[in-house]
Each structure stands twice: as structure tokens, then as C-alpha cells.
Chain A
Amino acid sequence: MAVRIKVKNAETGATVEMELEQENTVDEVIESAATFWSKDMGAYVLRKGKKVLRGGTSLKDAGVMPEDVLELIPDPEGG
């Protein structure tokens, strides 16, 4: 079953609509969104509300529902 969600770019506030299958993984959403916004090579996480979603998990297992807004956040690794 397809789910339509929005992904928000935490750095710019921009959003993109994505139509996905429930079997798609969080990793795939992160990589697609990062590519869409031509993000720098780097680490990113996707959050739903106050929780970071696990990379290898399917959207179904991660509890992602149609119309959810997920946020793509850079995971800062500099020191």
C-alpha cells in the first residue's frame, strides 16, 4: 500500500511530498530526500515528532502513517 508523506528539510524549512510503499525503509527516505535537496555528503537522521527513526526499519514498522510530516536533520559530526 502506498503512503504519501511529507519530508521537511530542517535546515531550510522546505518540504517535499513523497509517495512511498510501506516496505520502503527509513534509510531510503533519508537518501532520497538528501539527494532531492542536493545535500552535502554527510550523516542525516529522520525524525517523527520527538523520536529518531531507525535506518533499516520499514515505514510500516516505524509507524509512519499517511500524511505524516517527517524531518530530515543533519547529524553533526564535527568537533
Chain B
Amino acid sequence: MRLGEADDARFDRSMRIEWLDLESVFRSRVLMIGAGALGNEVAKDLALSGFRNITVVDMDHVVGSNLNRCVFFDEEDVKARRAKAEAVCRGFRRLSPESRANAVVSRIEECGEAPFKENDIVLGCLDSINARVHVNSHSYHSGKPYIDGGMQGFIGKVMLSLPPDGACLQCGMNRTHSKVAETRFSCTGEDVVFHEPRVPAEITTTSVISAIMVREALKLVSGRRDMVLSNATYYDGQRNVCEEIAIDLNPECPVHAIR
């Protein structure tokens, strides 16, 4: 062993994590949908954790108000009206030069089945219930694990759907979700219909939620389903507490009804 060798190897510290299968992380293909505040943080954590194959889907472009919580966006992106997916992929490649980062500037609803079939795991960084429902059902029926993150100010949630077992995201929805399904809980984008004083994304909450999402992704691609969250975890950033809350499979959930 050469003196200082451990300090030269990029993933030396990761290799010290006993349960982490780094080769699987390098190989796995990630579909990340949404390249806003949460998407930026998730992509950063994915790249630094060793993920090298990512497809990023988002239809928006960068605006000035994104810059207080999106690590991969800058003023030049605002001026150029750069697509968020492209800016995130550029940042991903900068952190992980060996990576293949593929930007898809589109709504996920217009992408068909292919992205779900071609990737191993799906991470949702979305801002609408309709998009979540779409991603949830397509992931489920493609047999791909889906990790969904959501935030509202200092409150965050991460939910795992692991087909063919257990509940999916839609199992936990109720009438209040249906009433706002069309709404985008965001502050940017042409089709936002929900401008009000609530805070859709706040960077410290975003960082916590993205970290939980990527940690769960690392466990899943390392084959450690025994270690993942059993269902949903809620984070309250005002009190800085996390709590796991069970969501049971709903036999009337449309996702399960068409199995």
C-alpha cells in the first residue's frame, strides 16, 4: 500500500460502507423526474454517491427565483432560458465526469413507457399530484422501485413503492389529493395555477428530503431491501424530527386493481 493511497481514490470513503455495493451503484440506471429544487439536490447526491447513468425529465426552464435553492443553476442559465433538465445534467457530468446524463425536456406524461422500462429505479422530484400519480402507476407496472419526495416549506415526505409488494403512493391518497390533482405546487413554470403564500421548497428541507431519497436508492441498488423505509417518512423541519408512518395497501387503489 502506498502512503496516502486512500486519499487519492475517489470512492475510498464509500467503499468503507459495508452494505454498499458500489459496483451496482456505478451500473444502475436512474430515472429522475423533475429538475427543480429537489431534483437539483437529488442529482448532486446521486452523482457524489457514485451513480453514473441518469435520465432527467423536466419540461421547465431556469428562472431567477430558482437560484436560491438549485445548486446546478446560475445567472447564465436564466439569461439563456436553459432547460432545467439540461442544466442538471451538465452539473451531474461536472461532478461525475465518467457519467452518462441524458436530459429529456418534456412532460413525463409525454414520454411513454420507455423511460420506465429502460431504467432500474425511479426518483420523483415532482410538484403536482397528477404527475406523481402517472409516475407511480408507470413505475409500479414496470416493476421498478419508486422513491417519491415532496416538500411544503419545512415539512417533507419520502415514500417508497416497491412493486410487487406493499402499498404504492396512490394508496395513501384521499379526496383532498383529488381536489388539487391538477395543481402544480411550484412557483415557476407557465402552467402554475397555485400562487399563494405557502412555501413550496426551502433549501434546508430540500437537502434533508433529497438525502433520504438517495440513501434509500443506495440501499435498493445494493440489494438491501431489508434496510429501506417500510413505507413513508415525514420530516418536520421546525422540530427537526422524522417519523415513519405506515400506509397500507388499498385494495381499491386503481394501481393495484389493474394488476
Interface residues of A (CB under 8 A from B): 10-11, 26-27, 30-31, 34, 40-45, 47, 50-52, 54-56, 73-79
Contacts and interface: CB of A to CB of B under 8 A. Distances in A.
B117 to A, nearest CB: 23
B207 interface: no
B151 A40 contact: no
B155 interface: yes
Interface in B109-130: 124-129
Contacts of B185: 42, 77-79
B247 A77 contact: no
B129 A43 contact: yes
21 contacts: A27-B176, A30-B176, A45-B172, A47-B245, A50-B243, A50-B246, A51-B245, A51-B247, A52-B245, A52-B247, A54-B174, A54-B248, A56-B252, A76-B155, A77-B128, A78-B152, A78-B185, A78-B186, A79-B38, A79-B124, A79-B185
Contacts of B180: 41-43, 77
Q: Which of B156, B232, B245, B246 has the most CB of A within 10 A?
A: B245
A30 B175 contact: yes
Interface stretch (B48-56, B194-202, B221-229): B194-202
Question: Taking chain B's interface residues, is the majority helix, strand, or loop, or is none over half, making it mixed?
Answer: mixed
B176 A77 contact: no
Nearest to B186: A78
A59 to B, nearest CB: 14
Interface in B225-259: 232, 234, 236, 243-248, 250, 252
Interface in B166-186: 171-177, 179-180, 183, 185-186
B61 to A, nearest CB: 16
Given A76-B150, A79-B201, 11 more contacts: A10-B236, A31-B175, A40-B198, A43-B177, A47-B245, A51-B246, A54-B174, A75-B177, A77-B127, A77-B132, A79-B37
A34 B248 CA distance: 23
Interface string B144-168: 0000011111011100000000000
B234 A73 contact: yes
B91 interface: no
Contacts of A40: 196, 198
A34 to B, nearest CB: 7
A47 B194 CA distance: 26
A55 to B, nearest CB: 3
Interface in B69-126: 124-126
Nearest to A10: B236
Contacts of A77: 126-129, 132, 150, 152, 180, 185
Contacts of B36: 79
B221 to A, nearest CB: 22
A43 to B, nearest CB: 4
Q: Which of A31, A34, A42, A77 has the most CB of B within 10 A?
A: A77
A74 B232 CA distance: 13
